[in-house]
Chain A
Amino acid sequence: MNPEGKLYNKNILIAIDESENSRRAVSYVGYFLGGLPGFTATILHVVPEPEEDYFPSSAEKEKWLLQHQKKIDALLDSSRQHLIEQGFAPEAVRMRSTRRYCPSMAECILSERDETAYSTLVVGRQGISQSEEFLFGSISSKIVQHARNCTVWVVE
């Protein structure tokens, strides 16, 4: 507990996807915290439940999910390996992949954070243009706006 009476722990939740900015977020955590005692990291990927409308049949949806899951498993593995190479103990790095209905990915990530009760959430900044943010929104902006009871690192 710090002097203000807030509870913090040394558990870091890193939310990733397949983007370059996610890779940077993992590298950043590894670089800053690797080798320091007491820190644990969980690498999180939320698979957005694909919309029913997107696939002509449920078989195609399942096929897509299977392929996507394989890619994500590989991504989680390589991210975990990266943190270990940077000095995290193997037992201090966990992986979490979950499938959710996600009208808003930011809300899904925050909800995962609530369930895992980590004090620090790390995401990469997408670096999208103002017009792109206007049209499709920004996950990191929304996380910053809506996060409660945790610290957010947005890695550039």
Chain B
Amino acid sequence: MNDLTSQEAIRRMVQRWLPSYPVPAHRLHIHTDTSDFYNVDYNDVVILGQRPYLIRHNAKEGRFGLEDEVKFWVKSAVDLSNGHRKIIKLVFYERFMSHIGDIEFECFRSPKKEARILELVAGHKNFMHGHAIKDEKDNIIRILDFISGKTLAHHIGSIAMDHETYFYQQFPDIFNRFIECVEAIRFLHEHGERHGDIRRDHILIDRQTATYRWIDFDFNYRHRENIYGYDLFGLGNVLVYLAGKGDVLIPDLRGNAHPWLDIIDESDLNIVFRNRVVNLRKLYPYIPESLNRILLHFSRGSNRFYDHARQILCDLEQVRWDS
């Protein structure tokens, strides 16, 4: 242990950058091997590449009304060399069968993939940034810059106005920023990479720049014939959510015997999630046809699918051109 990473030096750095932080009196636990991520706890210090990081807490992921789930391998930390907030992702090899509707497919986490993409997207404004480094046991740790801001899902959910007002006042800007996100995914695809877990809560709106930024790309799946199919499905779901100012769900419509039920048929529903309406123009006639045509690619009534992000991007640009 050198001067920078001694107990005394670490306490000095904590006092410097976090003057009000209650550092425990006992000897701090210092890790150079992070293999057991459960063992890396609050107030512990992880040394990576000679830099000490103070662990503050485990990250949580809240999703679709479920209770927040603690991600014990993702730590919120402070780089004690400069006081910057970081997210540190430790190695967690997870492999499981996932389901979308009645379709089963194999998913896995890959630190290698995320490390590779971080390198690829360094400086790209529509992605999270950071770098990967190995601990003493060769675990690939990702050290990510903290992005201050809320998720796109949270943002849309918090807009309190009727759909038509939203569509004319807010959606055009949201749409333009979403196009940037699709452009960013095209960039990945053209480099042979997939995001792997495209969801509306994996886009953070950077509070400083208002830019939409993709996060969390350590997820991957065993693709079958269409290498980018699942990413494109994710983009479609996000777009439908944005255009609809939330999901239009059949159970909700049934719950209050909504008159829309009379005009919606099977072909208007999401091709996989059969309880979500994607033919939104039927409900909101002011949605332009060119936009609705894109939404319909993700409907049960469709027999034409996107293969690549550049195709959806081309259609999105057309919508912008038409408006």
Contacts and interface: CB of A to CB of B under 8 A. Distances in A.
A135 B225 contact: no
A84 B254 CA distance: 60
Interface stretch (A28-36, A112-120, A126-134): A126-134
B272 A135 contact: yes
B220 interface: yes
Chain B binding site: helix, strand, loop or mixed by DSSP? loop
B198 to A, nearest CB: 12
Most central of A104, A136, A138, A142 by chain B CB within 10 Å: A136
Interface residues of B, number: 28
Contacts of B149: none
A142 B307 CA distance: 11
Contacts of B292: none
A103 interface: yes
B224 A136 contact: yes
Interface residues of A, number: 21
21 contacts: A51-B222, A53-B110, A53-B220, A54-B108, A54-B220, A105-B224, A106-B225, A129-B103, A130-B300, A134-B271, A135-B100, A135-B229, A135-B233, A136-B103, A136-B224, A136-B225, A136-B226, A136-B230, A137-B226, A139-B224, A139-B225
Identify the 6 closest CB pairs spanning chains A and B, nearest first: A137-B225, A137-B226, A53-B110, A136-B224, A53-B113, A103-B227
Interface of B: 93, 100-103, 105, 108, 110, 112-113, 192, 220, 222-227, 229-230, 233, 271-272, 300, 302-303, 305, 307
